[in-house]
């Protein structure tokens, strides 16, 4: 079991700016509060989204673009250092007007409205290459 006890250094709520990029906004929040490790959840709406799906055999991400307004029914993720930069690993569940849900790894999306809760932790989380999955993982 790879785990770590974390020491909270701060807790925040944020409203993402309309027209900004969803993941960048979360990374900006982490930068503003100087968090190199954090956990967040959120909700809102976006005017478009690019989700990624990881091919577990081919070991690479494939993008799917949604050029349409979507609710963000769920957003869960964490902030860690990747190659020395803060990276917000972000998964979302979005939905269409009839309620149909689409979900995945969020590469980018344009914020319509967004509400985020973040807990920042003392020690940095650092992503490093994992041989088995070819992903950058922490711990």
39 binds a second copy (CB under 8 A): yes
Of the residues 72, 86, 87, 109, which one makes contact with a second copy according to CB under 8 A = 72
Report d(CA 92, CA 31) in Å as an integer. 21
Residue among 60, 96, 124, 128 that touches a second copy (CB under 8 A): 96
Question: Does 67 contact a second copy by CB under 8 A?
Answer: no
Rule CB under 8 A: say whether 21 interacts with a second copy.
no
User: Please, is 115 exposed, middle or buried when counting C-beta atoms within 10 Å of its C-beta (0-12, 13-18, 19+)?
Assistant: middle
- The backbone region for 136, taken as left when phi is positive above 0, alpha when psi lies in -120 to 50, beta otherwise, is beta
Residues 127, 136: Cα–Cα separation, whole Å: 5
Tokens of 3: 């785990």
Q: Is 139 one of the binding residues for a second copy (CB under 8 A)?
A: yes
* Residue 75 is a binding residue for a second copy (CB under 8 A): yes
Q: Kindly tell me which residue out of 21, 81, 82, 95 binds a second copy, with binding defined by CB under 8 A.
A: 95
Chosen residue from 82, 107, 108, 115 binding a second copy by CB under 8 A:
115
């Amino acid at each position: 079991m790879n785990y770590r006890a974390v020491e909270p250094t701060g807790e925040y709520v944020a409203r993402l700016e309309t027209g900004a990029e969803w993941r960048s906004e979360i990374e900006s929040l982490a930068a503003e509060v100087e968090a190199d490790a954090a956990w967040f959840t959120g909700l809102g709406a976006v005017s478009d989204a690019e989700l990624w799906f990881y091919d577990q055999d081919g070991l690479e991400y494939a993008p799917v673009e949604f050029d349409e307004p979507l609710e963000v029914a769920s957003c869960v993720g964490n902030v860690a250092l990747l190659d020395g930069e803060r990276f917000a690993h972000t998964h979302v569940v979005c939905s269409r007007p009839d309620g149909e849900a689409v979900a995945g790894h969020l590469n980018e999306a344009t914020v319509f409205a967004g509400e985020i809760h973040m807990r920042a932790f003392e020690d940095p989380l650092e992503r490093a290459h994992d041989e088995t999955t070819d992903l950058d993982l922490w711990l």
